[in-house]
Structure 1
Amino acid sequence: MKILHITESFGGGVTSAINSYILNSQQHEHYLLASVRKGDTTGEESQGLFKHRELVPRRLSSLARVKPYIDRVQPDVIHLHSTYAGALIRALPFIPAQKIVYTPHGFAFLRGDHPMMLKAYRAIESLLARRTAVIAGCGLDEQRIAGELIEPTHTLGLVNVCDELPEVPAVRSLTNKPVIGMVGRISRQKGHEYFRALAESCADVAHFKWIGGGDAQVMAEMVQAGIEVTGWRPRGEVIAHMKGLDLYFHTAAWDGFPISVLEAAKLDLPIALRSIGPFTTEGLTTLQSLEDASREINAFARGESEAQLRLHHNAHSIQQLHSKEHLHSSLDQLYSRFMPEQTANKLAIG
């Protein structure tokens, strides 16, 4: 089958997720129509086993490129990634709803915005769900939420996985303290204020490092707070910085299931997690308040065995569930729904 992936946020974790979907469903032809989000490039944008890719500017006028590209490719499945692409493309009347798969990579109504805005986002998602064949959440929690918007039988969970990491030497910070790190865009979504407050409260026992970039002023404020900020780096350098961490702490306020957490697990780093749906749904140990997080960091820095066990257990649990075998099976289930009925029946019988 021909599968067309469309996203307006090609960069960062979305790039990694799409590339992993393709790598684990190579029996199909994959195409890409995307715009790259400025500042989010990771060096992976030119990778991926696409039959063809077309990158367009990140502006509304690029919507005019959608129909000609669909007419040229004639896809069997149109797989939309991210909330903006999901909204814009499903709103186009010439896109056949029966071909649409939507993976939000973090629903917009989970953001920390004004309650009225969140209600509006949810109402839009509920309305557009009628123009969707399957909502394929990136993780169990996103699938659960999707089941509130659409008939649960039209949902599926795609566990994110981590592909092989580049072989790079560790980049270590110039400190004798344990190094606590986070990867991502410096933004409200990734919880940069939570991370900063934690860094300030635990400055005596740990060194804090943010691997990623964002607004220049906010980056400067984080540096002033004593946080080491790398700015945006190619993926190989990101992994090198992660290898130099003693603990990975994912502080996002809302998320899908982040690729960076999977990378930390693959590196066998102990992992601390803020209490959000993707992590609690999988039964992982999470931390909600800054006070709880500060206590855990202090216990880890002191080398307390119970804290070490909790944080290493997170990494091991993630490795077990987020396997290539699980993703491959889920993608088979997803895309087989769009096969011609006779072909699907033959496959079922075989």
Structure 2
Amino acid sequence: MKVVHVVECFSGGTINFINLATKLIPDCQHIVVHGERPDEICPQKVKATFEQEVSFIKWTSVQREISVWKDFKALISLYNILKGIKADVIHLHSSKAGFLGRVVCKALGIKPVIYTPHGAAFLRKDIPAGKVRLFKLLEKIGANISGTVICCSESECRAFTDASIQASFINNGIAVGNRHIEFRKSPDSSLTIVNCGRVTVQKNPLLFNEIARAFEGNAGLRFIWVGEGELQHELESSNIEVTGWLPKQEVLALLRQADLYLSTSLWEGLPFAALEAMSLGKPMLLKDCVGNVDLVQDNYNGFLFSEADEAVQKIKLLQANREMLNEMGAKSIQLCIDRFNIQDTFQRYKEQYSKVSQLNVQ
């Protein structure tokens, strides 16, 4: 079976998902049609993380924000790419590829189409209400044009159905396997608190900074942000270390040594960085938003919060109770096994590929 993945952004959790799909559904031939952003990681470095059998085609003119002329050029570019590939399934990833891709597939008569939003544009909190309504309208139009919407979390799916858009979901997954987890013993009250991701509006670095600033002068607490981005200057509290982008093994080593994973995101799909921390036995302290809410059972494997003061109080509670940290970390691992199992995730996608590919013969 030939599966063509179409994605606007060649970085972040979305490309991580595609990478995993190509590895865990190896009996399919995978082609990745991708845009590139000049401010993102080097495309060659991304391609090097894929298996050699995966093919890549650059998608020109595509970019994140709406631009009638550039979007038209991106539409024509994608039309010319897809008409030259006899695909069994087209899997569209993220909002821009999801809309343009469904228009192109309709024009080409391609029926087996899956669209996974990975954090839909109408969930964004950094845009005016009018633009949110526009993005929601575009999602409704796209759903009526073609394709099956499969969200990456239950809460994202609920956002679609609340907007009267038919959707289902398959949770993103993570491998747990035989990872070596070491829980620290009491009465050590030091805490290392970590977040991973691009330093952008979506990840809300101002809130992270506000939480960290409440502990300035407390030598027992250390905050680390793994990543970089245009809002890096907002992480100005003296107890925050910004590492920049690190190799995967260094990130995993840092997470193993951490005590708590803190996400201040405004919206998500289902974040792989948080799943990675969960799989390594970390309790979760997550901002209450779409995507994050799927990863925390409150007071079981961590806490959800809305305001900085709530997060500060939870950190103080956990700092005073090492056993609670360890217990919640163990429950994070169990949740990964029960609800976010990577083998289950891609077995279900494989079944969906087989199901929609039958539309070619109908």
TM category, shorter:
0.7 to 0.9
Partner of 1:262: 275
Change (3 A) 1:7 1:197: same
- Which of 317, 336, 339 in structure 2 is aligned with 1:321? 339
CA distance in 1, matches of 2:109, 2:361: 21
CA distance in 2, matches of 1:269, 1:122: 35
Q: Say whether the 8 Å CA contact 1:249–1:273 is kept in structure 2.
A: yes
CA distance in 1, matches of 2:121, 2:114: 17
Identity percentage of aligned residues: 23
Partner of 1:173: none
Partner of 2:114: 101
Change (3 A) 1:198 1:96: farther
CA distance in 1, matches of 2:271, 2:207: 17
3-state SS of paired residue (2:57): strand
- Which of 303, 321, 331 in structure 2 is aligned with 1:303? 321
CA distance in 1, matches of 2:282, 2:323: 15
TM-score by length of 1: 0.84
3-state SS of paired residue (1:98): coil
| Structure 1 residues not aligned, in runs of 5+ | 168-175, 345-350
Q: Say whether the 8 Å CA contact 1:209–1:228 is kept in structure 2.
A: yes
- Which of 126, 129, 134 in structure 2 is aligned with 1:115? 129
Question: How many residues end up aligned between the 2 structures?
Answer: 334
3-state SS of paired residue (1:337): helix
Q: Does 1:34 align with 2:34?
A: yes
- Which of 81, 86, 102 in structure 2 is aligned with 1:74? 86
Give the 5 Å matches for 1:22-61.
22-41=22-41, 43-49=45-51, 50-57=53-60, 59=62, 60=70, 61=73
TM-fit CA distance, 1:7:
0.5
Q: Say whether the 8 Å CA contact 1:137–1:156 is kept in structure 2.
A: yes
Q: Say whether the 8 Å CA contact 2:282–2:328 is kept in structure 1.
A: no
CA distance in 1, matches of 2:147, 2:360: 19
Structure 1 segments (4+ residues) deviating >6 Å: 341-344
CA distance in 1, matches of 2:360, 2:34: 33
Corresponding letter in the other structure for 1:330: R
Give the 5 Å matches for 1:1-350.
1-41=1-41, 43-49=45-51, 50-57=53-60, 59=62, 60=70, 61-92=73-104, 94-96=107-109, 98-112=111-125, 113-149=127-163, 152=166, 155-163=167-175, 177-203=190-216, 204=218, 205-215=220-230, 218-281=231-294, 284-285=297-298, 286-303=304-321, 305-306=323-324, 308-310=326-328, 312-340=330-358
CA distance in 2, matches of 1:299, 1:119: 40
TM-fit CA distance, 1:134:
0.6
TM-score by length of 2: 0.81
CA distance in 1, matches of 2:248, 2:222: 22
TM-fit CA distance, 1:6:
0.5
Aligned-residue CA RMSD (Å): 3.1
Partner of 2:66: none
Change (3 A) 1:120 1:67: closer
| Superimposed CA distance per residue, residues 223-262 of structure 1 (whole angstroms, 9 cap, x where no aligned partner) | 4554111122333333233233221112211001111011
CA distance in 1, matches of 2:283, 2:355: 38
| Superimposed CA distance per residue, residues 293-344 of structure 1 (whole angstroms, 9 cap, x where no aligned partner) | 1111111222354455345434431342111332133213311222337999
Partner of 1:347: none
Corresponding letter in the other structure for 2:15: T
Change (3 A) 1:97 1:225: farther
